[in-house]
C-alpha cells in the first residue's frame, strides 16, 4: 500500500460490469510508456548492441511466421504486404543508424530506436509519394514489434499479475481483457472506454467489476493506493474513508443476498405473469463461459462472438481448430440452440495476424461482413468450420453488420460453395441450418422485408444500431449523452424489424446491451421481441424482471414509447415500471 496520507477522492465514470471490489491499485502502462532512458558505460555498449540484434532476429522470425500463415489463409497477394516489414527489419542503413546513435549518446537502445524510427517515419510521411509515405507506417509497426521483443517479459502484463489488485490503465484492448488473470484482477478502471465497447463486453463475460471513461484515473491513482470500485454505479473511490468502506461492505452483503435469491430462478421459465414466454439465451466470447450459461439460467447461446478465437495471437486459427471450438459449444448446449456469428473484425478488433491498412474511420470501413467478403478464403475457412459443427443440428449461423441485400446473397453463395466442398469430401453437415443476419445498421432495418426471404431470423445488435442511427461514436465522451437506447427512432426501428420478421414467419432476438438492461426489458418485451440474449451473469436479473412483469403492461409501455416525444420520457416510463415490479434489480444497473 502507498505510504502517503491522502483524502478520499470520488471519480464518476461509466459502470460497465457490476460488482463491488476493494483492493490495492496496480498501474499498468502501455509499451510506449515503458521506454525508459538510462545512461550506459562504454563496457555496456556491446551488450546493448547484442540485445538489439537479438530483438531484430526475433522480429524477423515473427514476421516470416505471420507471412506464412497469411499466405496459407489468404494467398500470396496478401502475404506480400509483409515484404515491406522485412525490408525495414533487415535495412542495414536503419540498423547502423541506431547503433551509431547509441554509441554517440551512450544510452540504452530503446529510446535510441524510438528516436531514429520517428525521424525516418516523419521524413517519409512528408514525401509527396504515396508508396514512400506508406512506408512510414511500416517503420512504426516494425519498431513497435522490436520494442516489444526488447522488453522481454512484461512484468505488468495483466495475464501475469500474481497479487490481488485493481488494475488502473489508460485503455485496455479486448484481447488483453480476455487474457487477464481474473483470480488476481479484482476489478479494473480506465481513462477511456464506453458501456458498449468490446472491452466492456469482455469484463461482463468474465464477471470482473469494471468502470471506464474516468478521464484521468491514471493521473489520480498511485501504485498501492486502496481503490474501491462500484461497477454498477460507475463510481471509483481512491483512498476511501472507513465510513465508506463500512457502507460498501454492507452493500456487498445485500447484493450477495439478492444474487442468491435470483439464482433460485435458474430452472424457472422466463415467462411473464400472464403467460408470455421470452427465451433467454447467452452471449459468449470464450469457451470458458460455457459452464456458466446453464448455471445462471440461460438456455442456449444467442451470440457466439468468434473473433476472440482470432485475437491476441500471431497466427490465424485453422479450420480444425475453429471446428473444435464450435463443436464444443454445440455439444455443451444441445439441444438448445447455438448461434455462431461469423468473424466481426475491424475497428477496435484486429488480429495481429492480419495486415490491414489504417482507415480514417474504421467503424465505417472494411469491417465485419465487408472484411469477410473481401477475404473469401479466410471467410470460407470459418464457414466450413461452422458447417462441420452443424452436424449437431442445434447450430445456427449469423452474418454481422449487413447493410444491403447483396451482402446476404454473396455470403449465402459462399456458404453454399462450402457445403458443396464438404459434400464432395464426404464430410457431414446440416444443409438445412438456420441462417440469420445482425440488424445493426439502419439501412438493414429499413429493408428488413427484402432481407427476410433469404434468412430464418434477425438479431438486433442494438449497440451499433444506436451508434449508427444517432451518428454517435459510442466511445467518444463528448457526444456520449446522445447515445440513447430510448430514443424514439431506436424504438421505432426495433418495432419495424419485429413486425417484418413476424410477417415473414421469422423470429427476432436482441443481443445488444439493451437486452441486458433490466429497465429496458419491459420495453423490448412489449415491442414483441422473441428472444433476449445476454451475458450469462445477467440472465438471473433479466429473468427476474420477466417473471414479475405482465405482458399487457409491457405492451402498453411500448405503445406509449412509440409515440413519445423524447428519449428521457421513455426512459422515465421504463424506470418507473421497474421500480414498481422489481426494484431490487436496480442495484445492478447504472
Tell me the per-residue pLDDT of 28-60, one tens digit each, with 9 for 90 and over.
865 555 567 888 899 989 989 998 999 899 888
pLDDT value, residue 294: 87
pLDDT value, residue 154: 46
Three-state DSSP at 355 gives coil
Considering the candidates 23, 85, 198, 509, report the single residue annotated as catalytic. Answer: 198
pLDDT value, residue 3: 41
Q: According to the CATH classification, is domain 264-271+443-454+480-590 in 3.20.20.60?
A: yes
Considering the candidates 372, 509, 511, 574, report the single residue annotated as catalytic. Answer: 511
Is 511 noted as a catalytic residue in this protein?
yes
CA distance 165 to 228: 11
Query: Alpha-carbon dihedral of residues 584, 585, 586, 590, nearest 10 degrees?
Result: 150
What does the block give as the cell for 250? 454492507
CATH homologous superfamily, domain 34-151: PtsI, HPr-binding domain (1.10.274.10)
Three-state DSSP at 360 gives coil
Domain ranges of the chain: 9-29+156-258, 34-151, 264-271+443-454+480-590
pLDDT in tens, the chain (590 residues): 444 457 899 999 989 888 999 999 988 865 555 567 888 899 989 989 998 999 899 888 878 877 776 676 656 666 677 787 888 888 899 999 999 999 999 998 989 998 999 888 888 777 666 556 667 777 877 887 788 777 653 434 666 788 899 999 888 776 677 667 888 999 999 988 877 676 787 788 788 999 998 988 987 888 889 999 999 899 999 999 999 999 999 999 988 888 888 888 889 999 999 999 999 999 998 888 898 898 889 999 999 999 888 876 778 899 999 999 999 999 999 999 999 999 998 644 555 556 555 566 667 878 899 999 999 999 999 999 999 999 999 999 999 999 999 999 999 999 999 999 999 999 999 999 999 999 999 999 999 999 999 999 999 999 999 999 999 876 666 787 888 999 999 999 999 999 999 999 999 999 988 999 999 999 999 999 999 999 998 899 999 999 999 999 999 999 999 999 999 999 999 999 999 999 988 877 76
Q: According to the CATH classification, is domain 9-29+156-258 in 3.40.30.10?
A: no
Of residues 367, 355, 377, the one with CA closest to residue 62: 355
pLDDT digits (tens, 9 = 90+) for 133-161: 667 777 877 887 788 777 653 434 666 78
pLDDT value, residue 264: 87
pLDDT value, residue 282: 96
CA distance 509 to 139: 45
Q: Which residue has the cell 409501455?
A: 557
Q: Which helix (H) or strand (E) holds 81?
A: none
pLDDT value, residue 129: 62
Three-state DSSP at 345 gives coil
Q: Which helix (H) or strand (E) holds 587?
A: none
CA distance 185 to 163: 8
Burial 507-542 (b: 16+ CB within 10 A, else e): bbbbbbbbbbbbbbbbbbbbbbbbbbbbbbbbbbbb
Give the Cβ contact number of residue 499 at 10 Å.
Answer: 15
Sign of CA dihedral 247, 253, 258, 259: positive
pLDDT value, residue 292: 87
Percent of the chain with pLDDT over 90: 57
pLDDT value, residue 155: 35
Is 198 noted as a catalytic residue in this protein?
yes
Contact criterion met (CB below 8 Å) for 554 and 522? yes
Amino acid at each position: 500500500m502507498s505510504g502517503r496520507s491522502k483524502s478520499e477522492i470520488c471519480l464518476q465514470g461509466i459502470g460497465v460490469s457490476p460488482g463491488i471490489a476493494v483492493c490495492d491499485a496496480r498501474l499498468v502502462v502501455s509499451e510506449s510508456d515503458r521506454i525508459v532512458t538510462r545512461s550506459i558505460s562504454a563496457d555496456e555498449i556491446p551488450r546493448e548492441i547484442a540485445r538489439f540484434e537479438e530483438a531484430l532476429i526475433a522480429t524477423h522470425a515473427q514476421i516470416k511466421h505471420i507471412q506464412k500463415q497469411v499466405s496459407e489463409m489468404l494467398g500470396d497477394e496478401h502475404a506480400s504486404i509483409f515484404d515491406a516489414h522485412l525490408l525495414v527489419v533487415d535495412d542495414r542503413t536503419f540498423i547502423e543508424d541506431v547503433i551509431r546513435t547509441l554509441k554517440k549518446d551512450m544510452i540504452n537502445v530503446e529510446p535510441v530506436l524510438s528516436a531514429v524510427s520517428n525521424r525516418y517515419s516523419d521524413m517519409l510521411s512528408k514525401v509527396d509519394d504515396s508508396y514512400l509515405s506508406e512506408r512510414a507506417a511500416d517503420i512504426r509497426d516494425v519498431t513497435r514489434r522490436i520494442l516489444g521483443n526488447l522488453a522481454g517479459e512484461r512484468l505488468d502484463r495483466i495475464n501475469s499479475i500474481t497479487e490481488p489488485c485493481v488494475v488502473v490503465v489508460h485503455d485496455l484492448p479486448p484481447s488483453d481483457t480476455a487474457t487477464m488473470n481474473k483470480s488476481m484482477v479484482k476489478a479494473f478502471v480506465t481513462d477511456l472506454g464506453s458501456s458498449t465497447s468490446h472491452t466492456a463486453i469482455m469484463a461482463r463475460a468474465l464477471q470482473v467489476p469494471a468502470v471506464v471513461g474516468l478521464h484521468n484515473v491514471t493521473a489520480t491513482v498511485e501504485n498501492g493506493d486502496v481503490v474501491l470500485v462500484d461497477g454498477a454505479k460507475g463510481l471509483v473511490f481512491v483512498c476511501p474513508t472507513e465510513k465508506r468502506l463500512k457502507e460498501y461492505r454492507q452493500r456487498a452483503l445485500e447484493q450477495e443476498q439478492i444474487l442468491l435469491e435470483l439464482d433460485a430462478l435458474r430452472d424457472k421459465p422466463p415467462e411473464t405473469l400472464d403467460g408470455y414466454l421470452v427465451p433467454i439465451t447467452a452471449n459468449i466470447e470464450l469457451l470458458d463461459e460455457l459452464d456458466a450459461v446453464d448455471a445462471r439460467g440461460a438456455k442456449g447461446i444467442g451470440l457466439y462472438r468468434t473473433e476472440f478465437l482470432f485475437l491476441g495471437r500471431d497466427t490465424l486459427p485453422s479450420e480444425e481448430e475453429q471446428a473444435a471450438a464450435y463443436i464444443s459449444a454445440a455439444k455443451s448446449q444441445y439441444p438448445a440452440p447455438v448461434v455462431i456469428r461469423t468473424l466481426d473484425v475491424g475497428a477496435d478488433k484486429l488480429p495481429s495476424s492480419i495486415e490491414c491498412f489504417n482507415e480514417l474511420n474504421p467503424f465505417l470501413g472494411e469491417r465485419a461482413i465487408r472484411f469477410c467478403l473481401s477475404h473469401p478464403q479466410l471467410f470460407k475457412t470459418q464457414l466450413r468450420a461452422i458447417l462441420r459443427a452443424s452436424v449437431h443440428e442445434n447450430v445456427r449461423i449469423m452474418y454481422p453488420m449487413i447493410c444491403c441485400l447483396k451482402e446476404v446473397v454473396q455470403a449465402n453463395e459462399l456458404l453454399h460453395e462450402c457445403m458443396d466442398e464438404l459434400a464432395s469430401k464426404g464430410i457431414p453437415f446440416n444443409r438445412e441450418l438456420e441462417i440469420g443476419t445482425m440488424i445493426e445498421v439502419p439501412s438493414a432495418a429499413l429493408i428488413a422485408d427484402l432481407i427476410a426471404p433469404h434468412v430464418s431470423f434477425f438479431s438486433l445488435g442494438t449497440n451499433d444500431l444506436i451508434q449508427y442511427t444517432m451518428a454517435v461514436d459510442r466511445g467518444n465522451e463528448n457526444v456520449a449523452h446522445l447515445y440513447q437506447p430510448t430514443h424514439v427512432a431506436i424504438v421505432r426501428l426495433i418495432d419495424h424489424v419485429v413486425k417484418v420478421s413476424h410477417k415473414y414467419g421469422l423470429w427476432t432476438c436482441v443481443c445488444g446491451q439493451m437486452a441486458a438492461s433490466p429497465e429496458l426489458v419491459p420495453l423490448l418485451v412489449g415491442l414483441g421481441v422473441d428472444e433476449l440474449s445476454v451475458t450469462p451473469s445477467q440472465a438471473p436479473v433479466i429473468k427476474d424482471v420477466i417473471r414479475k412483469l405482465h405482458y399487457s403492461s409491457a405492451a402498453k409501455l411500448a405503445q406509449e414509447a412509440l409515440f413519445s416525444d423524447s428519449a428521457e420520457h421513455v426512459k422515465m416510463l421504463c424506470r418507473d415500471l421497474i421500480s414498481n415490479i422489481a426494484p431490487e434489480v436496480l442495484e445492478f444497473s447504472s
